[in-house]
Chain A
């Protein structure tokens, strides 16, 4: 399981309804179905990921997040997940609002562009950052809306979103007192637990 998924799963109530936006190969939902008995639905557009979901017994709907979520009813899920997908969306702010319309709670994870390595890449090398969590070159990246931990904090504040919990980890899934103290500088992956204010 990916480091962010390991943390996310602690925030999911047993037996709850979970919608995963960009569910990938369905590994997290398969785990939540098996271990927590959740009612899970994933949205995905990559054909090979969709096939893996089907093979894993995860309900998956082929739907492009950039075309909106208007087909989902208000309050129809307990938790809506958006893991490592925020930065690839056409309109991330709108989608986060939609998440919190459909779900009572939302969980968002994204690669933190404010991490010291990213800053160093730009500062010293003069190059766009490339790392384990952001493995693409600037010209072929699907990630068109990078943000930092502080940027996302501002988005939540301006969008009337309450942050129930915020944590950052590095690529090896380790947290530390230092990361807690300087999340935007040391954290590589940011993980937010959200609800509407």
Chain B
């Protein structure tokens, strides 16, 4: 079967490019005079434009959330498990919009774009973008697309933080806020991991103070290390045990394996790869460093670190939500130690204090933070049930 005809997929998709010439004033005080956003959409927009859904991506995501760009693509978009005909975010019901955020490296204006003032890549001169700035740019996209109010804004992790910002800053422009594996702000531990990632990038000899593109190189090793550290925080201990503890070989007995399969069956007594997990992390890091931009990675981690909507309300998050008019669905995963269930419950409690309509699910899952991207039945079915009801309420029974 061709990808074009796959019944479970949105099939072949083509990104669209939108240009915005009105300057965007950023939270830092700087301005982007003009910018472009790369966008994909799936499913038909209905006549009264009431079925549009915005998907916000996380740290390493982009506009390509579902389907394939060509028949030769090995992998579909990053959230294809949830977006498509008959899936939880059902493209038979909803018009799904996903964009590459500003500062990204998927085609929207970011550090790899050419700065019109200099004729060179922005590189490290690209301004720091915050979650608030992203949402402001997403509102302009929404206006351009002729959508008055999203049926839902949906995102996981850093995407979930954009969802929360939508509910706070633009209460009249969304009906439902779905924030998955999110947090009200980063913990010191979260920021510490981000700092290790940043240090590994900026200390790479090929970094050249961020001007690596001008030198025809990129800080591959630093980016690889950053991704390896990040990847550890996305997985849980149990997920690693499951992944690397199946085959028991060599010196380890089954009882004491702890998910540390030897790669070759014997120890090297050197500093080479001995265990499967090492080789896996190196592979993940290498793959990532080939396709991702280091300045974008730095920028995304700063956007995470700076997120804290309570700062405008003397630290009282419930007041931040006071004007929110949407219904909320929050989901967390039991083994997520990056943004654990407690962080989502903090959000639930503040939303309750603000008197908001909030639903909350804590999903038993072994996969850690990454669970939000995986087809875990209880999670996917709940999302489907919630959005199915939202569609009935907002769009009537007819599709």
A50 to B382, CA, bound (A): 8
- A68 contacts chain B at the CB level, 8 A cutoff: no
Cβ–Cβ < 8 Å partners of B390 in chain A: 57
Q: How far is the CB of A49 from chain B (nearest CB, A)?
A: 11
Select the stretch in B124-132, B189-197, B344-352 that faces chain A.
B344-352
B352 proximity list for chain A (CB < 8 A): 41, 61, 71-73, 76
A90 interface residue (CB < 8 Å to B): no
Q: Contact check, B385 vs A55: say whether CB atoms are below 8 A apart.
A: yes
Q: Is B348 in contact with A61, judged by CB distance below 8 angstroms?
A: yes
Contact: B358 with A57, CB < 8 Å?
no
Q: Does B381 contact A (CB under 8 A)?
A: yes
Q: Interface size on B (CB < 8 Å)? A: 24
Instruction: Tell me whether A54 and B357 are in contact (CB under 8 A).
Output: no
Stretch at the interface among B15-23, B57-65, B288-296, B359-367: B359-367
Q: Give 1 or 0 for each of B359-399: 1 = CB within 8 Å of chain A CB.
A: 11110000000000000001001100110111011000000
Q: Does A56 have its Cβ within 8 Å of any Cβ on chain B?
A: yes
User: Closest CB of chain A to B222's CB: distance in Å?
Assistant: 41
Chain A's nearest CB lies how many Å from the CB of B149? 18
Cβ B360 vs Cβ A61 within 8 A:
yes
- The majority secondary structure among interface residues of chain A is mixed
Which residues of the other chain, B, contact A47 by a CB distance below 8 angstroms?
378
Check B246 for interface membership: any CB of A closer than 8 A.
Answer: no
Q: In the complex, what residues of A have CB within 8 A of residue B378's CB? A: 47, 51
Query: How far is it, in angstroms, between the C-alpha of A111 and the C-alpha of B92 when the chains are bound?
Result: 46
Chain A 35-73, CB within 8 Å of chain B: the 1/0 string? 000010100000100111111110111110000000111
B357 touches A51 (CB 8 A): no
Inter-subunit contact B393/A57 (CB<8 Å): yes
Return chain B residues, CB-CB under 8 Å to A51.
378, 381-382, 385
Could you list which residues of chain A lie within 8 angstroms of chain B, going by C-beta atoms? 17, 39, 41, 47, 50-57, 59-63, 71-73, 76
A-B contact pairs, 29 of them (CB 8 A): A17-B355, A39-B355, A39-B357, A50-B361, A50-B382, A51-B382, A52-B385, A53-B359, A54-B329, A54-B359, A54-B389, A55-B388, A56-B389, A57-B392, A57-B393, A59-B357, A59-B359, A60-B359, A61-B348, A61-B358, A61-B359, A61-B360, A62-B360, A62-B361, A71-B348, A72-B352, A73-B353, A76-B353, A76-B355
Give B contacts to A, CB under 8 Å.
Answer: 327, 329, 345, 348-349, 352-353, 355, 357-362, 378, 381-382, 385-386, 388-390, 392-393
